[in-house]
Amino acid sequence: MKIYHNPRCSKSRQGLAILEDSKLSFEIIKYLETPISKIELQEIIKLLGIAPIDLVRKNEAIWKENFKGKSLTDSEIITAMVENPKLIERPIVINNGKAIIGRPPEIIKSIL
Q: Which positions are annotated as active-site residues?
A: 9
Residue type, 66: N
Chain centroid to CA 10: 14
Question: 2 forms bridges with which residues in the sheet?
Answer: 27, 94
- C-alpha distances (whole Å) from 92 to each of 36, 67, 89 are 12, 23, 8
Secondary structure of residue 73 in the 3-state scheme: coil
